[in-house]
Structure 1
Amino acid sequence: MKLAGKVVIITGGAGGIGKEASVCFANEGAHVVVVDCDPQQVEKVANEVNGLGLAVDVSRRDQVDWMVSEVINRYGKIDVLINNAGITMDATLVKMTQEQWDRVISINQTGVFHCTQAVVPHMIREGAGRIINTSSIVGRMGNFGQTNYAASKAAVIAMTQTWAKELGRKGILVNAVAPGFIVTPMTEKMPESILQGMKEKIALRRLGQPRDVVNVYVFLASDEASYINGAVIPVDGGLSI
């Protein structure tokens, strides 16, 4: 097992890509901390992976600080943080409300800042750690109707590369993964005509699976990625080329 004994926090860990990550990291021997905003789903997934489940809104710094203290009290360390939590509230620029802008930025961007800033001092103390941030190809390419989401995911890339420079000398590696169109409960509700149009834009002519993204998470968290820092790895089937 690649991650035996590692303590891994996965935000957004109770659904979609995050749930797949929770299961896969547990299978690799990690102590998984499932963090999400839905208490019932958090408890369900945490029980499934024999991990610790914490219901947290990552936009709330007080809740994030509580989450980190709970993990330290339980395990004494944090080896890996996966900033996977994210939401969408789509609208074109002229129709986007302040609430839509603020909420997406608060989860997708400020939440990443909160969790990383709260966790890093404990990694510095250990002289090692991995931060894995979930960006998106939209953060580099933009997307119709996603001003808020694209801005938040571009910010994740900028924060990743800044933190890689700041924290690398302290033994902490910071990288990002940029998924493309991935099969999730959200895409499963889309009309087939829309899904077909999405597939035609992808070189591989198919949508990705959550496991495609999680495989990269596992690699970046493992010893095999010990000289990768500040990278933004696309997992998009060739959509961004």
Structure 2
Amino acid sequence: MVERLKGKVALITGAARGQGREMAELFTREGAEAVIAGDILEPEQTDGSSVDFVRLDVTKDDDWKSVIDGIILKHGKIDILVNNAGIVLYEPILQTTNVMWDRVLDVDLKSIFRGMREVLPHMIARRQGSIVNVASIWGLAGVPSAHAYQAAKGAILNVSKNVAVTHGQDGIRCNSLHPGYIVTPMNKDQGPVIEAALINGSLLKRAGQPIETAYAALFLASDEASYITGTSLVVDGGYLAP
């Protein structure tokens, strides 16, 4: 253990499973004072874990306030926010209803606004903080489906830049993280055709593992990235390189 997060307090959303859970467990192994995993799902296999699992519906203002207030009360600060919670629907635009659009945008995009709005005053008060907003390669390139999902992930890039520009003078760093095809429960319904296309399209000819995204999030969250803000880190096995 290098302890790259020694003394840090981090909140990671959507961290009951998948890449969010990998991030939470890695952050604890890297010496964080506390790692809080916020999710509406019940975590599995928590024996031996030092992660603090709490219920957080990222679409509800009251949930955000309650969780952040609890962190400040218990730890006196919050150093890192990783907005990782997300859902995906695979419908193209002509099959996307208003209800579907609103649901995906609420979870994948508006939740990031809610989280940053709640966390920023505490970070600004201490003049330090790192925010990592998890987007996708579909925030950087087109895909012939998942219309609402792509809209949300594309917007994440620019809302992250906006916060970086607005609050850099306050000591806050904000970056977006863009994974490619990562083997997680969220991707289990994408189908074999999409899966094969993503694997064959990557330069490494394989899917990514959650720990590979977690290490990227760790870097952006840590002081090793102290001069990096307003940028977008792609973790996609070279899918977007050609």
Asked whether the two chains share a fold, i.e. TM above 0.5, the reply is yes
Deviations 1:120-141 (A, max 9, x none): 1000111100000001110111
Report if aligned partners of 2:13, 2:37 keep a CA contact under 8 Å in 1: yes
Q: Which residue of 2 aligns with 1:157?
A: 157
| Greater percentage in helix | 1
- Counterpart of 1:12 in structure 2: which amino acid? G
Deviations 1:33-90 (A, max 9, x none): 010012x32xx56664323221111111111111111111111100000000010122
Is 2:50 the counterpart of 1:50?
yes
Count residues in correspondence.
238
Is 2:14 the counterpart of 1:12?
yes
Q: Alpha-carbon deviation of 1:194? A: 4.4
Q: CA 1:50/1:229 → structure 2, altered by over 3 Å: closer, same or farther? A: same
- Counterpart of 2:30 in structure 1: which amino acid? E
3-state secondary structure, aligned to 1:141: coil
TM-score (norm 2): 0.93
- Counterpart of 2:114 in structure 1: which amino acid? H
Report if aligned partners of 1:46, 1:52 keep a CA contact under 8 Å in 2: no
> After alignment, is 134-143 or 49-58 more displaced?
49-58
Is 2:122 the counterpart of 1:122?
yes
| 1:62-141 alignment runs, 5 A limit | 62-141=62-141
Q: Which residue of 1 aligns with 2:226?
A: 226
Report if aligned partners of 2:25, 2:51 keep a CA contact under 8 Å in 1: no
Q: Which residue of 2 aligns with 1:28?
A: 30
3-state secondary structure, aligned to 2:67: helix
Q: CA 1:48/1:109 → structure 2, altered by over 3 Å: closer, same or farther? A: farther
Q: Alpha-carbon deviation of 1:192? A: 4.9
**Structure 1 gaps, min length 5:** none
Q: CA 1:231/1:48 → structure 2, altered by over 3 Å: closer, same or farther? A: farther
- What root-mean-square deviation, in Å, do the aligned CA atoms of Structure 1 and Structure 2 show? 1.6
Q: Alpha-carbon deviation of 1:214? A: 0.8
> How much identity, in percent, do the aligned residues show?
36
Report if aligned partners of 2:88, 2:186 keep a CA contact under 8 Å in 1: no
Report if aligned partners of 1:176, 1:231 keep a CA contact under 8 Å in 2: yes
TM-score (norm 1): 0.94
